[in-house]
Structure 1
Amino acid sequence: MWCGAGAGRRGCVVERSYVVTGGGRGVGRAVVERLAGDGAHVVAVEMDGAALEWMGGHPARERLAGVVGDAGDEAVAERAADRAGERGPLAGWVNNAAVFRDASVHSSSAREVLELIGLNLAPAVAGCAVAVRRFLEQGGTGAVVNVSSHQAQRAVPGCVPYVTAKAGIEGLTRALAVEYGARGVRVNAVALGSIATERYAAFLAGRSAAEAASVEEEMGRLHPVGRVGTVREVAGAVAFLLSEEAGFINGATVPVDGGRGVLARDPESHDAPGAG
């Protein structure tokens, strides 16, 4: 707790810190900026140090720190926790780091598929392990949010490793919530639909105007809200799950997908009443 000179109890500010993996770009950066904007200290973990260069010119730069390394490496996770702990008690951990590489079992070896599963599952396991230990050392209060995908429940062809890893992350979320909930540690997940990240923008930019328009139209059909999501919308959901306001939410996977996960589009589907 920090108190300004002569501030009295009402002028005291409870310092808190968070770790966000994959925090340099896209959803991860949006989460970092949201938490820092709320007054917290945030440590972002990134494999690519260049992805953290924006921090130097950010208005909240005094509350930001970066750790370069593999989020799936427990030693890197420990280093991030140490940096966060220097700035205030660790209040939450967001496992967002992901690798978008896939394979099919008919064309890749089982070893390759398992390695790709590990690239997406290991960061969540390492992050959860370090976060839970630190929370327990502090007396057992803290929250973890794991970033999953609609694909964990509705698989996309050709994405076996990613789908499997995300399903594993949701299982990990439930298991840890049950094991540590009574000790003050909450673990939840967000299952994302398609989000307008830099990766999504690059995907559209690599196509003709007509092709990009077709992709956008299809994305609108896949998401009942009629569009892809924004990184700020995801950050808002994550910030809520980390907050005390979500104190009775534990072991949940919250869809942040515009309804994509509940949409049943198939050849037998009928037009909505009044459509057509």
Structure 2
Amino acid sequence: MSARLLGKVALVTGAASGIGAATARLFAAHGAHVFGLDRNPSPERADNPAHLIADVTDAESIGVAVARILGQHGRIDVLVNNAGADVFSEPLSLSDADWERCLSLNLKGAWNMARAVLPSMLEQGAGSIVNIASVHGHKIIPGAFPYPVAKHGLIGLTRSLGIEYAARGIRVNSISPGLILVPRIEAWFASQPDPEAARRVQTELLPPKRIGTPEEVAHTALFLASDEARFINATDILIDGGRSQLYHE
């Protein structure tokens, strides 16, 4: 395996499971010094990726985590903003607390992280930020409000920051996964009256007739984080097997 991130320092949020965990492992396998950040403990016990406990909605804990990384390595080359959570509701039934929770976890958290690492990236004149958005940032699914609001905002944040700092060596891109076999999706299948039937229905909706894996998202994040993507900026990449391109089902 080639070391595409050899010697780089990477910070991955939401790293305790799913896409975040797959990304942290892959980055480490490609030579990066990886710090996984999550409000939950990591089930894995390894030095690389190292695991930090922090909440992306808590600027103080983020500051402590970023200061620790900078104290050890003096730089942060890559940030992957993966932390987030589904918040779905009928719009007029949505509480103010759930509205705030959705935007805080899925949009403001990414800005909190970017704001914490950007000063050091700007000082070194280089850096790559990869935001994990969603197909919900491109297509609207009834019953999923207000999650698409936050993910549209995250893609807007990606483009805005990417253009703002492009001339200073910073690239900001995003990835929009579709249906991916992460723990919360597996849990949703398990909660259905007929889990296998529910899985078949979702699988048949996808052009490749299979559901995506966290590793497939991680490999795209690896590319965007690497110097191979050095002329890619302010761009979003869909990873949904082509599902969002269908005019009708």
Fold shared by both chains (TM-score > 0.5) = yes
Match of 1:4 in 2: none
CA contact (8 A) 1:42 1:84 kept: no
Match of 2:158 in 1: 173
Shift of 1:205: 2.2
Do structure 1's residue 122 and structure 2's residue 112 form an aligned pair?
no
CA distance in 1 between partners of 2:199 and 2:179 (Å): 11
Shift of 1:81: 2.1
Q: Specify the code of the residue in structure 2 equivalent to 1:37.
A: A
Residues 84 and 112 from structure 1, CA distance in 2 versus in 1: closer, same or farther, beyond 3 angstroms? same
Secondary structure, aligned partner of 2:93: coil
Structure 2 counterpart of 1:215, from 198, 218, 225: 198
Per-residue deviation, residues 11-41 of structure 1 (Å, max 9, x unmatched): xx96221111100100000000000111111
CA distance in 2 between partners of 1:200 and 1:234 (Å): 15
Unaligned runs of 5+ in 1: 1-12, 267-276
Q: Specify the code of the residue in structure 2 equivalent to 1:230.
A: T
Match of 2:235 in 1: 252
What aligned pairs does 1:106-145 form with structure 2 within 5 A after superposition?
A: 106-110=92-96, 112-137=98-123, 139-145=124-130
Unaligned runs of 5+ in 2: none
Do structure 1's residue 225 and structure 2's residue 215 form an aligned pair?
no
Shift of 1:155: 1.2
Secondary structure, aligned partner of 1:126: helix
What aligned pairs does 1:53-72 form with structure 2 within 5 A after superposition?
A: 53-54=43-44, 56=45, 61-72=46-57
CA distance in 2 between partners of 1:74 and 1:250 (Å): 26
Q: Specify the code of the residue in structure 2 equivalent to 1:154.
A: K
CA contact (8 A) 1:15 1:88 kept: no
Structure exhibiting the larger radius of gyration computed from Cα positions = 1
Secondary structure, aligned partner of 1:196: coil
Match of 1:6 in 2: none
Shift of 1:111: 5.8
Shift of 1:109: 4.0
CA distance in 2 between partners of 1:205 and 1:84 (Å): 38
Structure 1 stretch displaced more, 151-160 or 104-113: 104-113
Secondary structure, aligned partner of 1:160: coil
Alignment RMSD, CA only? 1.8
Match of 1:30 in 2: 22
Structure 1 stretch displaced more, 225-234 or 242-251: 225-234
Shift of 1:128: 1.4
CA distance in 2 between partners of 1:14 and 1:196 (Å): 29
Q: Specify the code of the residue in structure 2 equivalent to 1:179.
A: E
CA distance in 2 between partners of 1:17 and 1:83 (Å): 12
- Comparing both chains, which one has the higher relative contact order based on Cα–Cα distances under 8 Å and sequence gaps of 6 or more? 2
CA distance in 1 between partners of 2:54 and 2:64 (Å): 10
Do structure 1's residue 97 and structure 2's residue 83 form an aligned pair?
yes
CA distance in 2 between partners of 1:190 and 1:162 (Å): 16
CA distance in 1 between partners of 2:18 and 2:114 (Å): 21
Per-residue deviation, residues 214-242 of structure 1 (Å, max 9, x unmatched): 22222223321111100111100000000
Do structure 1's residue 192 and structure 2's residue 177 form an aligned pair?
yes
Number of residue pairs matched?
244
Do structure 1's residue 202 and structure 2's residue 187 form an aligned pair?
yes
CA contact (8 A) 1:222 1:263 kept: no
Structure 1 stretch displaced more, 106-115 or 73-82: 106-115
CA distance in 2 between partners of 1:32 and 1:64 (Å): 6
CA contact (8 A) 2:177 2:238 kept: yes
